[in-house]
Amino acid sequence: MKEKLQDVVRRRPLLGDGAMGTQLMLAGLEQGNCGEAWNLTHPEHVLAIQRRYAEAGSDCILTNTFGGSRIMLNRHGHVGNVEEINQAAVSIAREAFGGCAGYVIGDIGPFGGLMEPYGDFTEAQVREAFEEQARALVDAGADAILIETQTSLEELTLGIEAAKQAGAPCIIGSMAYDVTLDGSTFRTMMGIDPERAAECMQESGADIVALNCGTGMDMERARQAVVRYRRVTNLPLMAQPNAGQPKLVEMKVIYDETPEQMVRGVAPLLAAGVNILGACCGSSPEHIRAFRTAMDKFLTGSGAQHEDQVV
């Protein structure tokens, strides 16, 4: 029987993957279109991206389902394909490992709106959407469910509860933080600091506490978040920082950190106690390959080649 992700990472850190949206756009997805629909219409492109991450050394691959809830898919006319899109995504990610061991993490992003009384969506609608997506991912064989890029504790909690209802073998909660204007600290758009978020995730039943994305959240800020998480929880920790800051170059959004620049933060993050390390917006298989080399060097002291670390 496959060992649970949350148990494996207590013995050794694992390497996640990098950005999906950025890579899909490089493969031809037009800005604003539905990348999740590509699981059905262009599965070969999704597979090619995720296979490159696996070949770069990723132990964990996120499914291409960030916007795979019925609320998000409805905006693109795909509300009738929720189950099909999410289950196809799990199969593609599994295939990317090419028969080797690896963990497929079912990705659930924000529903993309505000709940009452601030917005138009009821709590029941959001709960139903998250439960439907989580169930599809778990039924397709996802090894974990990630509720990511969250900024409010209310939505985060609904996502964690949905993953529990679906019977997810591992649940990861992940917050998106923004560095304050004076640079002194970071918190979510809704004003939540890392300590409060970690406590909420643990109380809600998450197995792993994480952070991803956010404005100004580079490798060093991610390290600081890991340190702050560790002060209030003993749960395993996951970090997926962006590849620097986005810049508009010739009408295209480009992230400004190269693999050589970003990889300098790998050893400090591992030393801080991160259990799963990946990357978010703007990152690529080249970034992850650099991470793999740095991680192996940190763990072995000799830069040994990665040899199927996952059970």
Contacts of residue 165, Cβ cutoff 8 Å, sequence gap at least 6: 131, 134, 135
State the Cα–Cα distance between residues 174 and 171, nearest whole angstrom: 10
pLDDT score recorded for residue 244: 77
Tens of pLDDT along the chain (311 residues)? Answer: 789 999 999 999 999 999 999 999 999 999 899 999 999 999 999 999 999 999 999 999 999 999 999 999 999 999 999 999 999 999 999 999 998 999 999 999 999 999 999 899 999 999 999 999 999 999 999 999 999 999 999 999 999 999 999 999 999 999 999 999 999 999 999 999 999 999 999 999 999 999 999 999 999 999 999 999 999 999 999 999 999 777 777 666 677 799 999 999 999 999 999 999 999 999 999 999 999 999 999 999 744 444 444 43
Structure tokens at 249: 């170059």
CB neighbourhood size of 199 (10 A): 15
pLDDT score recorded for residue 307: 41
Beta strands 186-187 and 178-179, pairing class:
antiparallel
pLDDT score recorded for residue 90: 98
Q: How many residues does the chain have?
A: 311
CB neighbourhood size of 183 (10 A): 9
- The C-alpha angle 105, 244, 217, rounded to 5 degrees, equals 70
State the Cα–Cα distance between residues 311 and 307, nearest whole angstrom: 11
| Domains in the chain: boundaries | 5-300
pLDDT score recorded for residue 251: 63
Q: DSSP assignment, residue 225?
A: H
Do 181 and 216 form a contact (C-beta atoms < 8 A)? no
- What CATH number belongs to 5-300? 3.20.20.330
Amino acid at 192: I
107 forms beta bridges with 146
Half-sphere exposure of 275 (CA within 13 A, CB side): 19
